[in-house]
Structure 1
């Protein structure tokens, strides 16, 4: 069987599953269809999609604002998690908020490859879902154009993540400055891309003003990693910003976003650092979408765990926090060099 025949069979099977689930969850389909009809909108079969990791979804521009107009989105397009939990039910399946007829989902920017049909990238959403929110005001970005219709606690599981060792250094003693981490340059680029999961570099910056020490990190992938955002194709870069209070020895703010660079912007920025704008007449301001925000009393351990898992599959963040790569990366590098 040829590759084209295999793909054709896969798409046929996927379409059959979509039809099956549309029938099985017809009551949910009708409830969402009726809700949109009351606002003057109509759905066609093309508005319904299926993928194995996500299941049956309905896609319609600004769908969540129609289904749940009471949700308040802030200037960063985030919704406070405590409001979501008042209006929707949170169960064991991470990243989904339940009603009887549909489930809201977190932004697809938190999925593998930032693609809406994939499962969550390990393990940031899991950690966020299990977070003790006492003293923390959390805000998240949703998938505002889609809702899941096969309401259940079934999950599509993928277990291929690594876990980094805890960062034990005293944050107060970290010197201000910039770090830039890259995969080893002596490895064949093909092997390096595989070992480092297409990660190109990791930029880190610490800066202190008064009693607040600010952390920034931006993760660049290789130039073959592209995503669609608002109708255009970009090079995505994950970005983290956090503020550490030297007096309380806690983080008071922590947020994550994805920056979207055009090809020229990407080439201008990836080999530079956080001082790029100060050193260049070419002031670069990428498009951006914030995907989570925590405010309040945030422990160092929470920051470390969520940072490591937001930058999923990136050995460079483990190297930064521990001084070493994960053991499987060390073994792979040794094999690549021999």
Structure 2
């Protein structure tokens, strides 16, 4: 597929806005596992890209190019290809379909049978689906509600009239292993919160963990509150496969103004920006505060206000059948006498297409109840306004109109959106009175599939001569490095080139499978380093990019080092004490990153990613440069015999 391409930073080893970091070794290990898996499945490297992590909204294909290391951080560099034409979209859909089919079905048949046996199911039916989510799960109509009627049937003492389960009873009988995932130790099975807590209300997507986490925290910190939660009747999981899914979206809470008595009666509507409409699929949000009311409670007159909010969306909900729009809705009651929330619940209002076209043009106070209503959670008991707003904001995760309404200044929202988009960019604060070292040093590690060369070689490229003939060349600088390269490799019919700008993009060196790798690499790097030092001291070499490759576990490891020539020399002289070519890169990448920091403690340069699309680092040249060629005797004699016009 040939699509529009975007280069970007996918992740780093720095602390993110969720408060944790992923070590460079773990980032590298994930890449190694991914490539090894692709050798087995035959699928191309990379993953499908979906708008806002919604598996019902495919957007393109992403591929990690490699890990870029400098003294600031380790960055995962990747490229995203976006489908533009109809043909590209068809190809993308097919590729994504093959990927997800492989992803969900790669678990063993033994595991599937074990899951069925634990649930006392004799055999699969045609509608059953196995999915890999927070765990490996079986999706079947009423599979969980049949096994656990006490947690689902409204006739049970633990279930209310809306089908919500008493949350405290649930947590006493089962262990919550992660937000929304509960372990029944008796049957050794997992139960889950309802799928409507997922994007597009679909089993394909991750939970709204922000809300489910604070829901549980609220219960723990407010024992007087009565909590209820809707469970998923159609899902059971295998506890041995629990996985914590990472979805790194930065979601913030609002700055609050808690005086609800000042809020006027009536409806307010907040319209989404074009950005929010595209990424979050939200068109607008309607908020309704009703006029104060009174009622008798135990012969005491209680004054309260009712709050309702509904989110109107752009796209059909992929997890609903029959082309429906599932809109998040919440309802609360506020006690005027105690200045506290006394009741709070959330639901999904699902509309058929025709009903939704009517609903979207109406105000919430005139909309009526023309929807299929499914309540998801409920709190009864006194709750501070501050806590309620936090719960409300997290329930509507991804909808910036909620914190906007609740009191966040618009400028703050836009700033935080920008921070969320660029969460891996950091600014170094440097004392400008001290001299800043202008040395630079970086490394790049990429993995690729391909043939395993038997012998070591240096990879030639080609330049076009004025008479349009191709000349096979290697960039060596034509000095001491060239002499060393020619002593190591058979380059009899290859021309050496030098560009007189103080920069050398060395041709790539690949070590063969038949070599005694550590010894051959040490021999090469030692001799190369001596030649490099000579060219620094005598031939004006200032900057250099050095790419080398070797095979490990059927994968080609490509390591390139780039920077100030003196610093590259210093790193090369200790390279094989830092890395071990007989081990995966994940086992030595931390050592390499530490060595770069020691050699160049301060870096003010932005990462120069030139060359990463080709799998290695290089310097980009601009303007006119002087090119020198050093031709082998056989090539030179041939040119002299032919005497082309450009050589006259």
| TM above 0.5 | yes
Match of 1:43 among 112, 124, 146: 124
Q: How far does residue 17 in structure 1 lie from its aligned partner after superposition?
A: 2.0
Mapped pair 1:285 → 2:370: yes
The Cα shift of 1:106 comes to: 0.4
Shift of 1:201: 0.7
The equivalent position to 2:306 in structure 1, one of 214, 225, 228, is 214
Q: Is 1:200 aligned with 2:283?
A: yes
The yes-or-no answer on 1:315 pairing with 2:400 is yes
Shift of 1:200: 0.6
Q: Secondary structure in 2 aligned to 1:203?
A: strand
TM-score (norm 2): 0.45
Cα distance, 1:292 vs structure 2? 0.5
1:128 aligned to 2:128?
Answer: no
| 1:109 is the counterpart of 2:201 | no
- Is contact 1:227–1:236 with CA below 8 Å preserved after alignment? no
Shift in Å, 1:99: 1.6
* Deviation string, structure 1 residues 271-317 (Cα, Å, up to 9, x no partner): 3212325xxxxx65211100111111222122111110111111111
Give the distance between the partners of 1:16 and 1:30, measured in 2 at CA: 18
**C-alpha distance in structure 2 between counterparts of 1:219 and 1:65, whole Å:** 29
Residue 121 (structure 1) shift: 2.5
- Tell me how far apart the structure 1 counterparts of residues 94 and 375 of structure 2 sit (CA, whole Å): 40
- Aligned mates of 1:59, 1:173 — CA distance in 2: 48
Equivalent pair of 1:161/1:313 in contact (CA under 8 Å): no
Contact 2:324 2:353 in 1 (8 A): yes
Q: Name the SS of the counterpart of 2:277 in structure 1.
A: helix
Query: Which of 232, 235, 242 does residue 143 from structure 1 map onto?
Result: 232
2:386 is the alignment partner of 1:295: no
Moved >6 Å (runs of 4+): none
The number of aligned residues is: 309
The CA distance in 2 between the partners of 1:166 and 1:241, in whole Å, is 21
Distance 1:192 1:62, change over 3 A: closer
Q: Alignment RMSD, CA only?
A: 2.5
Per the alignment, residue 248 of structure 2 pairs with 159
Find the counterpart in structure 1 of residue 135 from structure 2.
55
| In structure 1, distance between residues paired with 2:366 and 2:409 | 27
| Cα offsets for 1:234-281 (capped at 9, x unmatched) | 11111100001112221111000000112222121223212325xxxx
Match of 1:280 in 2: none
Q: Which has the larger radius of gyration?
A: 2
State whether structure 2 residue 167 is matched by structure 1 residue 81.
yes
CA deviations 1:143-165 (Å, max 9, x no partner) are 11111124455311112032022
Partners in 1 of 2:341 and 2:304 — Cα distance?
9
Q: 1:324 to 1:308 in 2, by over 3 A?
A: same
Q: Match for residue 341 of structure 2?
A: 251
Cα 1:273–1:4 change in 2 (3 A) is closer
Residue 356 (structure 2) aligned to one of 255, 260, 266? 266
Instruction: Say which structure, 1 or 2, has more relative contact order (CA 8 Å, 6+ apart).
Output: 1
In 1, distance between residues paired with 2:173 and 2:209?
26
